[in-house]
């Protein structure tokens, strides 16, 4: 059995980068990260001052200013002991964490700090002078040290802060030197990413990268007001839970810490009362199983298999479930032929199963609760849909009279691929037909065979169990029913894994 990749997270905070400036500059490393996932704007919330202290505190704690109580760049009176940063929470949970920065309140007791109260390892380099040159030198030293730690050590969650861009804007405004500072920050980001890629264990690791800024700037430099340029920030992310071209919206600074916990498969404790939630990447497509997921045919299939088995002198029990539920006709026929010891030709068993099941489907099939609402919601959201089933084409055509053939852009049946579930080929074929990456797809399944197929194809999976209990797992979310999935989609919280 393959060993699950070790999850790691690197957050890079680049202070004071205006989104409009970023969009017109050549920043190849950030551009590549955005292409591998997304880069999206976010707006500093009305109650949060557009200052570094409050914004960074919200980013790393996952709670808003009314909880962490960092209202300015003087952190005095904060409640960070109650609402600590993600590196401290993770270190207290036994995880290895690391922070590298040059701004004193982040790392020392200066001005009521530190923001990072207890990471496992730190690299702190105070600027030799409080000017552009001093901050560029400090960022360079911070980057050099962080590259060494990322390459040689094994932090599970890291935060690296670069402050020269913001200081340049304060001193010189948002002109050419400010733009050059942004480009230099991108070059430093590239070195951090390269340090991760060059790790000896990189092939066995699954890294999530998050790059975020805290606020914007006025043209003349400076912030703290409520203008659009001051309030507009942005976040970029790529990783195993964020497919290329991911569509996201409604992001907030407090979501960054929540995403860190989610990326490490470390569920946030409800007692932390986080205000953030993991980034909700809208699926590029939803691939839906049919039997037992959208329509109540799984019980019909079990009954059909039971009746055929009894005719062969075999009584189906729980031991037969994995060979029947979610399986194609041919697989079930082979199983019944083997366990019954019958001398009947295999093709006659296939034909009998086919005929009995089709008759049952045509006469008794009903939609499962939430199925019409789910299909309607996906259509309203404009998310492409495929039906992916181990049933033969005649059965699917019968069921589509209930579901509506127009509900799906693609249908993949047992007759359309050389191998069907639990092999990944049906899901790979559906994603290919829709022109999307399987990693960006959400598969909706009910049976272990279907789940195995979807996960082997690289899809995220939402499970609505029918006959067989299913447990959550990384990349797999077990739901109470289709209506819960509808509610998650409408709330912008597409399932991303176990919670």
Asked if 394 contacts 426 with a C-beta cutoff of 8 angstroms, the reply is: no
Alpha helices in 25-131 (DSSP H): 28-36, 52-61, 65-68, 86-92, 104-107
Q: Which of 85, 275, 291, 331 is catalytic?
A: 291
Neighbours of 19 (CB within 10 A): 16
Helices 132-152 and 176-197: angle between axes, nearest 10 degrees = 10
Neighbours of 182 (CB within 10 A): 24
Tell me 26's DSSP state.
-
26 flagged as catalytic: no
Residue 489 structure tokens: 């989609």
Residue 94 structure tokens: 């036994």
Tell me 383's DSSP state.
-
CA distance 254 to 72: 17
CA distance 58 to 56: 5
Residue 397 structure tokens: 């055509």
CA distance 458 to 427: 9
CA distance 396 to 475: 28
CA distance 377 to 293: 16
Residue 357 structure tokens: 């099941």
289 flagged as catalytic: yes
Backbone angles phi, psi at 106, to 5 degrees: -70, -30
DSSP 314-341: ----GGGHHHHTT--HHHHHHHHHHHH-
Residue 153 structure tokens: 């050590």
CA distance 169 to 124: 23
Dihedral class, residue 257 (left if φ above 0, else alpha if ψ from -120 to 50, else beta) = alpha
CA distance 101 to 415: 58
CA distances from 290 to 322, 389, 451, 477 (A): 17, 6, 13, 18
Asked if 404 contacts 383 with a C-beta cutoff of 8 angstroms, the reply is: no
Backbone angles phi, psi at 296, to 5 degrees: -85, 65
Q: Which of 214, 241, 289, 416 is catalytic?
A: 289
Q: Whats the size of the chain, residue-wise?
A: 499
CA distance 438 to 429: 10
Positions marked active-site: 289, 291
């Amino acid at each position: 059995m393959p060993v699950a990749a070790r999850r790691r997270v690197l957050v890079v905070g680049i202070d004071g980068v205006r989104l409009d400036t970023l969009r017109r500059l050549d920043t190849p490393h950030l551009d590549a990260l955005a292409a591998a996932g997304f880069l999206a704007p976010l707006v500093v919330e009305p109650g949060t001052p557009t200052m570094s202290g409050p914004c960074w505190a919200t980013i790393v704690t996952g709670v808003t200013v009314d909880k962490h109580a960092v209202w300015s760049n003087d952190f005095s009176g904060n409640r960070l002991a109650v609402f600590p940063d993600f590196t401290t929470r993770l270190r207290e949970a036994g995880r290895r964490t690391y922070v590298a920065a040059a701004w004193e309140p982040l790392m020392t007791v200066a001005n009521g700090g530190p923001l990072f109260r207890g990471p496992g390892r730190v690299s702190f380099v105070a600027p030799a002078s409080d000017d552009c040159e001093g901050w560029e030198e400090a960022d360079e030293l911070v980057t050099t040290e962080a590259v060494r730690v990322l390459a040689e050590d094994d932090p599970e969650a890291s935060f690296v802060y670069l402050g020269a861009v913001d200081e340049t804007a304060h001193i010189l405004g948002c002109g050419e030197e400010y733009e050059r500072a942004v480009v230099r920050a991108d070059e430093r980001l590239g070195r951090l990413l390269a340090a991760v890629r060059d790790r000896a264990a990189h092939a066995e690791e699954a890294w999530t990268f998050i790059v975020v800024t805290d606020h914007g700037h006025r043209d003349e430099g400076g912030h703290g007001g409520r203008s659009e340029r001051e309030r507009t920030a942005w976040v970029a992310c790529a990783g195993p839970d964020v497919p290329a071209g991911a569509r996201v919206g409604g992001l907030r600074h407090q979501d960054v810490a929540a995403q860190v916990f989610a990326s490490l498969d470390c569920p946030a404790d409800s007692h932390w009362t986080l205000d953030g939630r993991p980034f909700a990447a809208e699926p590029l497509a939803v691939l839906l199983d049919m039997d037992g997921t959208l329509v109540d045919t799984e019980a019909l299939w079990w009954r059909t298999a039971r009746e055929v088995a009894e005719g062969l002198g075999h009584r189906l029990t729980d031991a037969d479930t994995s060979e029947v539920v979610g399986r194609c006709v041919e697989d079930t026929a082979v199983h019944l032929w083997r366990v019954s010891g019958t001398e009947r030709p295999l093709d006659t068993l296939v034909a009998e199963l086919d005929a009995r099941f089709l008759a049952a489907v045509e006469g008794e099939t009903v939609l499962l609760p939430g199925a019409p609402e789910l299909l309607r919601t996906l259509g309203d959201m404009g998310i492409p849909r495929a039906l992916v089933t181990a049933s033969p084409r005649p059965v699917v055509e019968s069921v589509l009279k209930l579901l509506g053939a127009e509900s799906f852009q693609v249908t993949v049946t047992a007759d359309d691929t050389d191998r069907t579930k639990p092999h990944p080929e049906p899901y790979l074929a559906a994603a290919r037909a829709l022109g999307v990456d399987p990693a960006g797809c959400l598969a909706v399944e009910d049976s272990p065979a279907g789940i195995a197929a979807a996960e082997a194809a690289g899809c995220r999976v939402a499970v609505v169990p029918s006959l067989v209990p299913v447990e959550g797992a990384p990349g797999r979310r077990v739901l109470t029913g289709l209506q819960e999935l509808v509610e998650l989609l409408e709330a912008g919280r597409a399932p991303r894994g176990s919670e």
